[in-house]
Amino acid sequence: MEELLRRSEKLTTVGQLAAGVAHEIRNPLTTLRGFLQMQQRTKMINQMHTDIMLSELDRINLIVSEFLILAKPQAVQYETKDVRFTLGDVISLLDSEAHLHNIEFKAHFSSAPILVHCEENQLKQVFINVLKNAMEAMPNGGTITLCLDGENEREAVIQVIDEGEGISKERLDKLGEPFYTNKEKGTGLGLMVTQRIIEGHKGNMSIDSEVGKGTVVTITLPRVVEVSRSEDSTAGRV
Ligand code: ADP
Ligand code: MG
């Protein structure tokens, strides 16, 4: 069962998205206001209340930051990078958190360089989003397998395979819609950001999943073909 996330079908203008963001942050704002009002009237705020207030503030912050990535046309600087190292960096970054949750990363990387033309921080953001989703789908731990295949000369194929809860067909159709989340602390914006960045890199993402078994996210990115031409790239231009 394969479902391509086609952002074009679910295309959301920044304006519509902003309306969604406004709606999404209204709830935590209402909660915050309620507690502050209670404090004003009764001075009864306790540790539990402040914990809730902090987590509601964190939620607003997260929604706004993810929205900004989507809304802001960032000045991007593309460079040629070996995607094995980009992904390796992200694995190191998340390794200790994974360990805490009894999750192990297993990497199967091509032994030869796989060069892609990319804005490396954006690409890291993509891998962080996908790996975090995989980790969050595995509350009881397990293995996340990362395959980076260099067999195809034109495309880098990156697969993130988890042993998590999986996604039903019904939910799969909803992925890529903003604010669709099944997590208490989710924003439902991560996959949109991911999809947007991959499109910016002329790549593709597809998700395969089976409930109770796990999910496979496949990302393809165009590879930099090393041409053995000595001429300057501007040569031959009319
Ligand atoms: P969030 O992580 O904030 O919920 P995302 O856009 O990253 O938002 O993901 C949207 C939804 O897609 C998640 O809430 C989850 O239901 C589903 N999802 C994404 N990746 C996976 C995965 N690897 N396994 C199971 N469900 C997933
Ligand atoms: Mg996510």
pTM check: above 0.90: no
The whole-number pLDDT of residue 228 equals 53
Asked whether this complex has an ipTM greater than 0.95, the answer is: yes
Task: Give the 3-state DSSP-derived string for 82-123, with helices as H, strands as E and coil as C.
Answer: EHHHHHHHHHHHHHHHHHHCCEEEEEEECCCCCEEEECHHHH
69-103 confidence digits (pLDDT tens): 777 766 778 999 999 999 999 999 999 999 999 99
CA distance 166 to 73: 33
For ligand 2, the distance from its centroid to the CA atom of residue 132, given in whole angstroms, is 6
If you take atom 14 of ligand 1, which residue's CA is the nearest one? 181
Pocket around ligand 1 at a 6 A CB cut-off: 129, 133-134, 137, 162, 164-165, 167, 171, 175, 180-183, 186-191, 215
Position 171 pLDDT exceeds 50: yes
Please state, as a whole number, how many other Cβ atoms lie within 10 Å of the Cβ of residue 217.
23
The whole-number pLDDT of residue 13 equals 60
Mean pLDDT of 25-41: 92
